[in-house]
Amino acid sequence: MKKKYQNRWLVYSVLLLLLPAIFFLSASAFLSPVNAYAGGQNNSGTIKWESLTAAIKNNKLHKKVFLLHFYFPTCAYCIRMDKHVFSRKSVINYVNKHFHPVLIDIYGNKKILYFNGVYLTEKQLAAKLNITGVPTEIFYTPYYKKIFLLPGYWKKSDFMLVSRWIASGRYKIESLRKFSQNYNK
């Protein structure tokens, strides 16, 4: 009888040790923004995320504003932004048309070309740009000048307001506040 209970205890112990790992792996596989826009999957239903290296190269032919999206795969607000903002057709179409969208994992070790011609890891770039929280969006001109930093989670309407302000070039002549007053009229 004792052996029967010892075996049960052993099985339960192993399950308790494995369950968190199984949960973490399955949750990150299904909820991670990386799955939604991994590797620049270019089907028409998603944002066409590029590496910064590819975006710089593509910018030589097609001058557009850079949209750098800093994220972490298990970040709850990054996942929420992916589900509620970046998955909306109007956002997808607008971002793909007006920006070079770049996806950067703040803890990633992938080497990418920075605007100054130096290769850095994603983690080094995030540190260089003082990214301390995610999600964070940074917009740069086609000539690599920073336009605007958008920290944290933003609703679709607010994200689109900032995106339209930047893509239209109105950021050069009026504040976001003034633009927003005329935006909904």
**Could you list the residue range(s) of the whole structural domain that residue 16 is in?**
1-31
CA 35 to chain centre: 11
- Name the helix (H) or strand (E) containing 149: strand 146-151
Pair of tokens at residue 174: 């009026």
| Contact of 67 with 100, CB cutoff 8 Å | yes
The pTM is what?
Answer: 0.76
pLDDT digits 0-9 by tens, 12-56: 665 556 555 545 444 444 444 444 444 444 445 899 999 999 999
Are 107 and 157 in a shared domain?
yes
| Model pLDDT, residue 89 | 97
Are 61 and 78 in a shared domain?
yes
Query: Between 174 and 8, whose confidence is greater?
Result: 174
User: How many structural domains compose the chain?
Assistant: 2
Are 9 and 59 in a shared domain?
no
Are 2 and 79 in a shared domain?
no
pLDDT digits 0-9 by tens, 94-137: 999 999 999 999 999 999 999 999 999 999 999 999 999 999 99
Are 58 and 115 in a shared domain?
yes
Are 9 and 98 in a shared domain?
no
pLDDT digits 0-9 by tens, 144-180: 999 999 999 999 999 999 999 999 999 999 999 999 9
Amino acid at 162: V
| Contact of 38 with 139, CB cutoff 8 Å | no
Positive or negative, the CA dihedral 43, 45, 51, 56 is positive
| Model pLDDT, residue 45 | 82
Are 75 and 56 in a shared domain?
yes
Q: Nearest CA to 101 among 149, 40, 57, 164? A: 40
Q: b or e along 29-55 (b: 16 or more beta carbons within 10 Å of the residue's beta carbon)? A: eebbbbebbeeeeeeeebbbbbbbeeb
Are 7 and 60 in a shared domain?
no
Query: Between 149 and 8, whose confidence is greater?
Result: 149
CATH of the domain at 149: 3.40.30.10
